[in-house]
Structure 1
Amino acid sequence: MTWVARFGMVLLSSAFSSHSITELFLPQCTSITLENRKRKYFYGETRKEVQEKLKVALHQQQQGTLVVGPKQTVEQFFTHWLEDVHKANVRVSTYKRYQNLLRLHFLPVLGQYQLVKLSPQHIQALYAQKLKEGLSPRTIRFLHAVLHKAFDHAVRLSYLPRNICDMVELPRSEKYEYHPLTLEQIQQLLSCAQMHPLEALFVLALVTGMRRGELLALKWRDINFAENTLQVQRALIEVRGEDLRESEPKTAHGRRSIYLIPLAIDALKQHRARQLEVRLQHADTWQEQDYIFCTSHGSPFHVTYILNSFRSLLKKASLPRIRFHDMRHSAATLLLSMGTHPKVVQEILGHSNIRMTMDIYSHVLPSMQKDAMTKLSRALQQES
Structure 2
Amino acid sequence: MAHIRKRGKTYSYTIDLGRDPVTGKRKQINKGGFIRKKDAEAEARKIESEMDDNKYIEPSKEIFSEFAGDWFYGHYQNRIKKTTVSNRAYLMERHILQNNLFSNKTISKIKASDIDAFYNQKIQEKYSTSYIRQMHQLLNQAFNQAVKWGKIASNPITDTDPPAVNYGEMFIWSFDEIHQFLNACRGERHYLTFLLAIYTGMRRGEILGLKWSDIDFDNKKIYVKRSLAHIPGHGYTLTTLKTKKSKRQIPISEFVLNELKVHKNTQYGWKELIGDLYEDQDLVIGTNEGTMQDPRNVNRVMKRLIKKAGVREIRFHDMRHTHASILISEGIDIVKISNRLGHANPKITYECYAHLLPNSDSDVADIFQDAIQNHTNDKK
TM-score range, shorter chain: 0.7 to 0.9
Tell me the equivalent position of 1:156: 148
| Alpha-carbon separation, structure 2, partners of 1:177 and 1:238 | 25
The corresponding residue for 2:86 is 96
Separation in 2 of the partners of 1:300 and 1:77?
39
Where do 1:193-342 residues align within 5 Å? 193-342=185-334
Give unmatched runs, 5+ long, in structure 1.
1-31, 40-49, 51-67, 372-384
Structure 2 unpaired stretches of 5+: 1-19, 28-53, 364-380
**Residues 84-123 of structure 1 aligned to structure 2 (within 5 Å):** 84-108=74-98, 109=100, 110-123=102-115
CA 1:194/1:160 → structure 2, altered by over 3 Å: closer, same or farther?
Answer: same
Corresponding residue of 1:78: 68
Report what 1:16 is aligned to.
none
Amino acid at match of 1:189: F
Q: Distance in 2 between matches of 1:312 and 1:268?
A: 23
Quick check: 1:69–1:116 contact (8 Å CA) kept in 2? yes
Are 2:303 and 2:313, in contact at CA under 8 Å, matched by a contact in 1? yes
Q: Tell me the distance in 2 between the aligned counterparts of 1:141 and 1:297.
A: 40
Q: 1:25-36 alignment to 2 at 5 Å?
A: none
Counterpart contact for 2:167–2:352, Cα < 8 Å: no
Q: Normalising by the residue count of structure 2, what TM-score does the alignment of the two structures yield?
A: 0.74
Structure 1 vs Structure 2 CA RMSD? 3.0
**TM superposition shift of 1:140:** 2.4
Q: Deviations over 1:240-288 (max 9, x none)?
A: 4541122222321111111111221111111111111112222232222
Q: Which has the larger radius of gyration?
A: 2
Q: Which moved more, 1:166-175 or 1:352-361?
A: 166-175
Q: Deviations over 1:52-71 (max 9, x none)?
A: xxxxxxxxxxxxxxxx933x
TM-score w.r.t. length of structure 1: 0.73
Distance 1:34 1:113, change over 3 A: farther
Contact 2:167-2:351 at 8 Å conserved across structures: no
CA distance in 2, matches of 1:105, 1:139: 11
RCO higher in structure (CA 8 A, sep ≥6):
2
Q: How far apart are residue 178 of structure 1 and its match? A: 2.0
Counterpart Cα distance in 2 of 1:167 and 1:315: 48
- Sequence identity percentage: 28
Offset at 1:355? 1.6
* 1:185 paired to 2:177: yes
Give the match for residue 356 of structure 1: 348
CA distance in 1, matches of 2:136, 2:72: 15
Distance 1:113 1:370, change over 3 A: closer
Q: Does 1:69 align with 2:60?
A: yes
Alignment check: 8 A CA contact 1:287 1:299 kept: yes
Shift, 1:36, TM fit:
11
Question: In structure 2, do the counterparts of structure 1 residues 34 and 249 end up closer, same or farther at CA, with 3 Å as the change threshold?
Answer: farther
Query: 1:335 and 1:138, CA in 2 relative to 1: closer, same or farther beyond 3 A?
Result: closer
Aligned pair count reads 314
Secondary structure in 1 matching 2:249: strand
Q: Distance in 2 between matches of 1:189 and 1:116?
A: 56
SS at match of 2:245: helix
Bigger drift between 92-101 and 105-114 goes to 105-114
1:66-90 per-position Cα deviation (integer Å, ceiling 9, x unaligned): xx933x3323322332234332443
